[in-house]
Amino acid sequence: DQQVKQNSPSLSVQEGRISILNCDYTNSMFDYFLWYKKYPAEGPTFLISISSIKDKNEDGRFTVFLNKSAKHLSLHIVPSQPGDSAVYFCAASDSFTSGGYQKVTFGTGTKLQVIP
């Protein structure tokens, strides 16, 4: 049961252009959404998050959009840089139905390649 889905395994973008990474979820009880970035041989690094009560959160070049009715979120990177080349994981958590603790479910990841 894949509750968090990233349907694009890879994405290539030219340097300076916008990168858009997409994520869909099925569990309507998710109340917190996160994006992590992962370089080879390293652990995932937290990038940006959004609460279910918001529809947009921005941090520098990174913006996350949440569409609760469509159960869809996206990560926009503008402008894209070669150092952004990594695997991006979407994650979602549900703290209300998990006995009061935060239970996080990850997607399968999208490999972004930014071409110089």
Q: Which of 20, 32, 61, 65 binds another protein (CB under 8 A)?
A: 32
Told to check if 42 binds another protein by CB under 8 A, we report yes
Q: Each residue of 7-35: b (16+ CB within 10 Å) or e?
A: eeeebebeeeeebbbbbbbeeeebbbbbb
Binding residues for another protein, rule CB under 8 A, total 31
Told to check if 7 binds another protein by CB under 8 A, we report no
73, 66 Cβ separation under 8 angstroms: yes
- β-strands 103-106, 45-51 pairing: unpaired
Told to check if 4 binds another protein by CB under 8 A, we report yes
Q: Which of 100, 112, 114, 116 binds another protein (CB under 8 A)?
A: 100
Helix (H, G, I), strand (E, B) or coil at 44: coil
Of the pair 74, 108, the CB lying nearest another protein is at 108
Binding site for another protein (CB under 8 A): 4, 6, 31-32, 34, 36, 41-46, 49, 51, 89, 91, 93, 95-96, 98-109
